[in-house]
Structure 1
């Protein structure tokens, strides 16, 4: 399983999530986006609805009757009723349950940097886990640092 650590900086969280979501949808893959904060989930919900005039990203908030049909599901817990094999942790709080997915995207910023460092260390040498660390260069391009 692959864990991609994304250190946020120049690009807002919502834009990074939209980019990852679009890429996975283009590959016909499902995504579970996890954030414990209800306000953050609400902002992400609005962003996915109105990501631009031609780029609506089909999704739902967990707890609805159509959870199983949603290609992207926003949730407070890492339970994937939409059968997603990809998880995106949007709140910078690592959850070991992410290791049960095929791929995890772990987004963190300066306020959650220490937790990300700890998660990076804890995942080092874990059998079957491939870690990748991404940061933006001075032009805003994502570059794999490790």
Structure 2
């Protein structure tokens, strides 16, 4: 199981997340995006439809149609009704249920850094979990820091 911690500093979530979504879909995998915040979920729904003029990232919010058919599902909690094996926690809150997936992406900003550090430390004591910490350099590119 792999957990990627993405510390958002120079690049906001709305620029970082679509790149991850593209890679997951491109690999043929499915993704669950989790946020407790209804406003954030609605914003992400709009973002994934039109973040770039030449893009199409097929997705839906949980309960908006046939959840099982969606390559990307946006939900308020860890409910992989689409059969996703990848999960993106985008509201800065770590959830241990993410460990039931093959890979987790944990996005957090400065407001959630203390909780992210606690999650990082807590996962370090568990067998079978590979942790990677990504931060942005001065040019805004992601670099693996740990």
Contact kept, 8 Å, 1:51 with 1:57, in 2: the verdict is no
> In the TM superposition, what is the alpha-carbon distance from 1:65 to its structure 2 partner?
3.0
TM-score, normalised with respect to structure 1: 0.98
SS in 2 for 1:133: strand
Q: How does 1:43-122 map to 2 (within 5 A)?
A: 43-122=43-122
TM-score, normalised with respect to structure 2: 0.98
> In the TM superposition, what is the alpha-carbon distance from 1:125 to its structure 2 partner?
2.4
After superposition, the C-alpha distances for 1:62-109 in whole angstroms (9 at most, x for unaligned) are 013310000000000111010000000000000000000000000000
Quick one: distance in 1 between partners of 2:109 and 2:12? 10
Gaps of 5+ in 1: none
RMSD, aligned CA: 0.7
User: What corresponds to 2:139 in structure 1?
Assistant: 139
User: What corresponds to 1:28 in structure 2?
Assistant: 28
Moved more, 62-71 or 39-48: 62-71
Moved over 4 A (4+): none
Quick one: distance in 1 between partners of 2:107 and 2:53? 26
Quick one: distance in 1 between partners of 2:12 and 2:109? 10
Contact kept, 8 Å, 1:6 with 1:106, in 2: the verdict is yes
> In the TM superposition, what is the alpha-carbon distance from 1:56 to its structure 2 partner?
1.6
Aligned residues: 146
Q: How does 1:1-16 map to 2 (within 5 A)?
A: 1-16=1-16
Quick one: distance in 2 between partners of 1:15 and 1:69? 25
Quick one: distance in 1 between partners of 2:38 and 2:65? 19
Quick one: distance in 2 between partners of 1:119 and 1:41? 23
Quick one: distance in 1 between partners of 2:125 and 2:21? 28
Contact kept, 8 Å, 1:61 with 1:73, in 2: the verdict is yes
